[in-house]
Chain A
Amino acid sequence: MRSKHSTLTWVDKNRIFLLFAVVSIFMSLFAPRFFNVFNLTAIMKTVAMNACVAIGFTIVMICGQLDLSIGTVITFAGVLGLVLKGPLGYAVSVPVAIAAGAAVGLFNGLLVAKAKINSFIVTLGTMTILQGAIYTMTKGNTVSLSTPDAFVVADFLAKPLLPLVTPRILITVALVLVAEVFLRRTRSGRNFFLVGGNRNTAWLAGIKTDAYIIVAFVLSGALAAVGGVFFAMESSAATLKLGDQSLMYVLSATIIGGTAMSGGKGGVFRTVVAILTLEMLYTGIILFGFGNEVKIFIAGLILATVVLYEAYAVYKHEREVGKRPELVKELEAAAAAKTAGSPRR
């Protein structure tokens, strides 16, 4: 029989899958018009961009770092992909946009790993620089394509190959699987966890910690760009606010999915399930007839709750480590024995 402690640990460990099951079953049963192919495909399409972005973001967080620039990288890549599409075509503009995202990641990674600047500060700076670059590139206007060939690509990316599965969703699923297998089944992948768990120990074990941190940021930049550029291609448009909502969304999902903010723990698959769960929840809220403001309120509430829980878990863990309960018990027993054996005065 499972003890109470181990049951709680099991629930905590699998909280995202339980949450997914609860939300999906509840919405399917009660939310009006939730449970049909069109709606579920729409949910999957929305998830596709953020899931792509979340892969890199999760790896950065596993390394114990934070990448605040993902939202602007999404917008930057989307805008760049469409701006360059005219003169160069998608065959060139898409790789260039992804490479640009990777370059932003490389810049972040070098400053964090080599210059030892806090990732929060570095990526906040990059975010601001990119915002300026986007406004300069577009003069403040939305970039859009309404040529027939742009619509052909958009239609291809949006048209389901199977129910619920469009090419863009397929690309995202493939990337998630590759990332999950890489992190779990390869030595290099597992090293990201070691770097995030304890950077000094990892370095003493012979792991090139700086290189892993740089690679994590490069992956984060490149995958944010993939998410942004494919989303822009499917919409044939990129607004200057394209990625604005993604940072909070992906951050919430990554934490809810069980990736520790302190690093060393987590997983891409869990983050993606969390994104799917959140999207189902938000869609359900709207389908129940509540306004967008209720959705924003609930999103904030979820994030606050999870961050609070994470902070409590870290506090509890540190307190236990400090106390060494077994050692304390041993010492207490020894003290009690000593007291019992000592002569009375």
Chain B
Amino acid sequence: MQQHLWRSLQDFAELSPSDPREELPEPLPEAGVSRRQFLKLASLGTAMAAIAAGCRRPDHKLVPAAAAPEYQVPGLPLFYATAFQHKNAAYGLVAKCREGRPIKLEGNERHPMSLGASSAYAQALLYTLYDPDRIRRVRMGEQRSAPLKAALQAIAEKLQQVQQQGKLCYLCIEEHCSPSYDALLQELQRRFPWLRVVVLPSFLADTAATLNAEVLGIPAEFVPHLGRADYILSVEADLLGIDRYAVWHTHNFAQRRRMRSRQDTMNRLVAVEALMTLTGTNADLRLRMHPAAFEGFLASILLELARSRPVPEPVRQAASRIPAAYAEKAQQIAQELLRSGERAVVLVGAHLPRTVHALALAISTALGSVGEGKVLDPAYTLPNSFPKEPELTRFRQDLREGRVGALFFANVNPEYSADWELQRLIATVPWRIALSLYHDETAANCWIHIPVAHSLESWGDVMAADGSLSVQQPLIAPLNEGIGSVQDVLILLAQQLDASAFAGVKSYYDFLRQRWQVSYGITDVQWENILREGVFAPPRRSVPTLRFSAAALAAAISPSGLSREGLLAVALPAYGIYDGSFANCAWLQELPDPVSKLVWDNVAAMSPGTAHRLGLATEDVVQLRIGDVSVKLPVWVQPGMADGVILTQLGYGRREGGEVLKGVGQNTYPLLPQGRLSYVTVSLEPLRERYLLVTTQHHARLHGRPIVRVTTLAEYRSPEGPRFEEPKFPGYPSLDGQYRIPLTIVPPYEYKGHRWGMVIDMNACTGCGACIIACQAENNIPTVGKEEVRRGREMHWIRIDRYYLGSPDAPRVVHQPMLCQHCENAPCENVCPVAATTHSPEGLNEMTYNRCVGTRYCLNNCPYKVRRFNFLDYHTDRRPPKEMLFNPDVTVRMRGVMEKCTFCVQRINEAKYHAKDEGRERVRDGEVLTACQQACPAGAIVFGDMNDPQSKVTQLRQNDRGYHVLEELNVRPSVTYLAKVWNAQPEEVSQMRTA
């Protein structure tokens, strides 16, 4: 397949053959210290150090425990099952602990929603645990370090006053999925009638739940089971991106796309969207459409499905509003949906209007994909996803009428995320108490701030979408001077208020354990077993029955009111830091956005057409105004977006709560009307300002080589097979493992033992970025900050390259993970003057940090640009307890040292030890998992021994989609890529190209 790859709009402009100029990137301004000055200072420093230090080594201490903890041997890891709540989604985790501290988190294979994989958020949980910015002391008024007891007494006094005044106390909690937390809150409300609990989400997205309650009688959001779907029509539903169950969705979606042979079937994902979501980039067919056209499009599909059957009038009206250009597509998609029947589903983004949700539900119902065992299964619903609006309205009403005397904020931050009106109302409440990890905006405005324990430091339980339960085990004693979780503090407070409350309960653990005993009949033996397994499926689980109401559905369909005139803007959670709760995590701030590859910023993304019409370019600053609030944002021209639409990200622009988040991006919560995720009409005003944006996509250009191979399913299955572009040196294919050009400067070497290799299936990879953070956690990779990323100095050992194909208006996208290829003829090895990078007898390209003198020749000679140089000492933030984050099995690299992917050699060595201990000569297949492979929810990365004919990696290498990137260079990489296959008609691909 002929293809033109481009990585950015500049690239696209340079693709034209009449213009062969090879533009150099703009020179970067000089740093503050000139080279000469630097050398002077450095030599002086060395001399001083030599004089001062002498030669004697410093005195090291060896400190054993006073009494040996059970099971623990220094140097050996222990694994514990625990759980992670991503808002109200639950994932089971397994934590690797060394010397009593967790150092790595992995998905629990037995957990139905993790299935051994994890997300970037789950990986980054560890960073937040050891975040030095977490608050440690209780603050009471001006008193910086108050005892907890005194604070609780003071709170109890005020609460009694509040009660005497006949006022209410509200406890604002975040979205969660813990049944025992719910039980605790109910118990509290029962005992203290003046206490009310309200779920205060940072953004409101309960349209689907409200609709499900009205139409199906289920007040919850469905968690679609994509493994059961052959055909997915996604209307801006970012299931593979910002969805809370994205790990599970990615697993299910990719499972249907890992083609092992030409006969395999695959699912088809059609994305209809105005934005460029991660799900859209993975679509087989992506239709760029203005949001105002969604209802017309879906209504037309519904009409087509209904044929002669009667259709409510609003649907007919909505269908008449479809733009003519899409009428034919709607018919085609309706036919395709019909062919897949109950194995087809329509999914809608949470930010879209109610009408669109209703039409999608109508189509899914008509197709028969709603019901038990279907894609939209009432057995898979998001816990606690009930409609939040009624409660919030009541909360606002109580605040407005001055009925609230005290407010608790348990891990919520309305001072940052709530709308202006709610913030003003909250400020009128006299006694505000924050229970949170960070001294955030809300805590700063509270009377008392109690630091609470992190989820990895406290007991809890979580319920997954399928109803299975997991226990959240603490892995380390609370680092904030022993203060417990929110639940612990609430129990202490209740006992302070009423000595008889929670009799026999000393902490939340007791409450949890008692509740499990009473509710699920868990004995001590079973409890131990659940702690070990990490999962417990309650024996009796009632699946709610569906009570379908056609009338309610018809009533929900009305014109959405989205207008084609003017500009529509929407703010969605960021891929990295989500709603801002992860804003102080440098790992996630530096995780490139999977679509735009931007780091450390949020932007106003718009299509090239819109930018052209408004006379704007990337990095121009604009002001978005809605009513009397405005947000200043830099423009980012994003290929593939619909004209007249602006996408921006939430979670940025935090003011308080840590050192990392300060000054990063702009707060876009004011763009949410009443805190609800939705499109709003904004007015745009260009400012005469520029703002520097940093993206990793320009780094390391690949000069138009055929890096990515793509094909369509029809072409792949045709007798001639896929027509991949040939490498530039014909006669040098290597799919059969035979290298026909014996051109090499290193003598041939026979790998007798293991020979490590990797296969990356680009058809399964969705570009989510979990591997990047997993690698960062495993290999002690530093973050470098925006300014250093601008200089191309990001340190990620694995990156995900995003390539566009086709026109800038509606491009196709391919994600390609790129890491050290461990070439057999590694070009980096030949140029190292000090032999710091060498080849191991098992085919690893090894990097010896202590030998490296920092010439960077290897980096220059690497065709894949995967080597990373420590230009500065990036591990500068060594405030305690940050050092506990390091993996003790991997060297922490200093300034002046080259580093790169090692294929997780520490894990390989460990697996070899186990093999030897069991008397085996070889490591078994699957015994070594690299960190990226283990985290990958799509199962796109397979690592193993290429010398073992039975291993998965050997078999996958023989797949006819396999190829090596830049194989014409004869570097003989150990990483094989499997070409991307789109389940699309060839004309759909070519249309995409010329559109």
Is B a genuine binding partner of A?
A: no
Question: Which of A's residues lie within 8 Å of B, judged by CB?
Answer: none
Question: Which of B's residues lie within 8 Å of A, judged by CB?
Answer: none
